[in-house]
Amino acid sequence: MRDPVNLLAPLTAQVAIDGRLLQADAPILRLHYRAGGIDGGVIAVPGLAAIAAVTHKIKMRLARSVYVADGEDDVELWVESRLAGDRAMLSISGWWVVDREIEWRTNPSDGTMPPSLHAAELLFDRNLRLVRLFGSDQIDIGPDHIGKIAADIFKPENKDCGKLLAAMERCEAIRADGQFLASEGPLIEASLEPQFNQQNEFSGYLCILSARVDPGSGGGSLVAAHDRKDQAAASPEPLFGRRLAPVLRQPLGRIIAKAETIGSKLQGPIRENYAGYAKDIANAARHLMALVDDLGDLEAIERPDFVTAPDDIELGDIARRVAGLLALKAADHRIDVTTPPVTERAIAKGEFRRVLQILINLVSNAIHYSPAGSRVSIDIEEKDAEAAIHVSDQGAGIAVEDREKIFEKFERLGRSGDGGSGLGLYISRRLARAMGGDLTVSKNQQGGAKFTLTLPTLPVS
């Protein structure tokens, strides 16, 4: 992952109902031109064109990651979209450029990194919650920290960490040296920069951590050497998720982007059957991408040292986020997804990122296996020491004898050809139980299946 484009304010674009790009900030215009677009023409970036079209179609707010092939690079964008009159208003608040060759060089077989790449970038939101993490392979902060607040990552009792936390409280920039991570690790240089939105309102922090490594020492980590040995002895090196998955994602991302460009006829008219072939290629590549993600998760959860990072999360908020993320898929299947009202809340202990992952899987499955024109309902409740979130559909349901079987690894219940891996529910239940909860299925009273994710409301001892 290369350095992110420094977005002190979100980038914006406006797209007409017929797909014409009416206005865009310079970086978005450059993507548009490189994809073959012209001034006043239809937006030529397939992912942005798709989210704009869906916004016009369903007249709802959307938020999702969009992947764009830009020359030799792949660009990941975090895009939010809303309708204003007859225009789709796009706002890009995250922009990350991924280069396969650079990413591979940061993960050579001996586990070391060139001195110039000894860095990690942590993006915190306005509530000081970690929302993005880049270049973290060589530090003892990993994906499990996503969703945690700064005080849980930089321990207040550590005097060096106290410098960062105090600066965060004062909304100040700071640059300092110290042992911010492993207590016996090398000195780390930390820089902290406040981030602001278009209205000049505080929106979070970008924190960059860099190891002070002697180029001739062959040092290879921000974590103390003895800690690395202990970790290696405790569990084997994650081969797929760490080494192979990033290498596979890059060409798949390029295939998806190129196939979408062809299938959307953005670079000129082609025969309708060829456009259909291109869309089939894009869908097949998406299935492969999902399988790569599933295998990476499978490897992670089956490691003996796998743990989650529980925090206070609000299940109603997560339900509404998932409905927004899957609005396009629901609209394509003519499925109505209902969520809890904003006045209804259920606070649970769980890892935000993992609960989001579980719920996306459940709602995505419900949409996929429900008849067109039906409803998928997401409901929440809090009772005694448990909080629950229910996903109910109006599909064919699941037979009693299969209700435990579907949680087994690679189980498809005889289905084939729909692109699934048979790992989603297995991974989801393992994650739920790792957080002290569970995932079960029962019959929906209105017909169909009802999946229930339960989580504790108190910390798991």
pLDDT value for 235 = 46
> How far does CA 156 lie from the centroid of its chain?
28
Domain assignment present for residue 169? The answer is: yes
> Is 290 a residue whose pLDDT tops 80?
no
Nearest 5 degrees, angle CA 325-CA 331-CA 359? 35
Same domain as 334, residue 287: no
More reliable by pLDDT, 429 or 255 = 429
Q: Give the max Cα distance, the chain.
A: 68
Q: In this prediction, what percent of the chain has a pLDDT beyond 70?
A: 73
Q: Which of 18-32, 95-109, 332-346, 382-396 has the lowest mean pLDDT?
A: 95-109
Same domain as 184, residue 167: yes
CATH number of the domain at 170, please. Answer: 3.30.450.20
Same domain as 131, residue 195: yes
Same domain as 355, residue 258: no
Q: Which of 223-232, 238-247, 416-425 has the lowest mean pLDDT?
A: 223-232
Same domain as 434, residue 325: yes
Round to whole Å and give the CA distance between 22 and 40.
6
Round to whole Å and give the CA distance between 101 and 148.
31
Round to whole Å and give the CA distance between 244 and 379.
38
The first and second tokens of residue 445, run together, are 């009273």
More reliable by pLDDT, 266 or 334 = 334
What's the full length of the chain, in residues? 461
| 389 within 8 A of 380, measured Cβ to Cβ | yes
More reliable by pLDDT, 147 or 88 = 88
pLDDT bucket at 148, cuts 50 / 70 / 90:
confident
Domain assignment present for residue 6? The answer is: no
Q: Output the average pLDDT for the chain.
A: 75
Residue range of the domain that includes 415: 311-456
pLDDT bucket at 242, cuts 50 / 70 / 90:
low
At 26, which helix (H) or strand (E)? Answer: helix 26-34
Same domain as 126, residue 83: no
Domain assignment present for residue 461? The answer is: no
pLDDT value for 70 = 67
Point out the domain boundary residue: 164, 196, 222. 222
Same domain as 140, residue 30: no
pLDDT tens track for 102-120: 333 333 333 333 333 345 7
pLDDT value for 459 = 67
> Is 230 a residue whose pLDDT tops 80?
no
Per-residue burial over 290-307, b if 16 or more Cβ lie within 10 Å, else e, is bbbbbbbbbbbbeeeeee
425, 372, 379: which is closest to 394 by C-alpha? 372
Same domain as 391, residue 260: no
Domain assignment present for residue 380? The answer is: yes
More reliable by pLDDT, 216 or 123 = 123
Same domain as 391, residue 325: yes
Neighbours of 203 (CB within 10 A): 20
Rounded mean pLDDT, 219-230: 37
Tokens 């005080």 label which residue? 151
Number of domains in the chain: 4
> Is 79 a residue whose pLDDT tops 50?
yes
Given the DSSP bridges, would you call strands 336-338 and 375-383 parallel, antiparallel or unpaired?
Answer: parallel
pLDDT value for 415 = 61
Q: Which of 4-8, 49-53, 255-259, 371-375 has the lowest mean pLDDT?
A: 4-8
| 96 within 8 A of 4, measured Cβ to Cβ | yes
Enter the pTM of the model: 0.51
* Three-state secondary-structure class, residue 303: coil
| 256 within 8 A of 286, measured Cβ to Cβ | yes
Domain assignment present for residue 254? The answer is: yes
CATH number of the domain at 350, please. Answer: 3.30.565.10
Domain assignment present for residue 87? The answer is: yes
Point out the domain boundary residue: 254, 280, 301. 301
Edge-to-edge strand ranges of the sheet holding 438-443: 336-338, 375-383, 386-392, 449-456, 438-443
Same domain as 431, residue 350: yes
Neighbours of 37 (CB within 10 A): 20
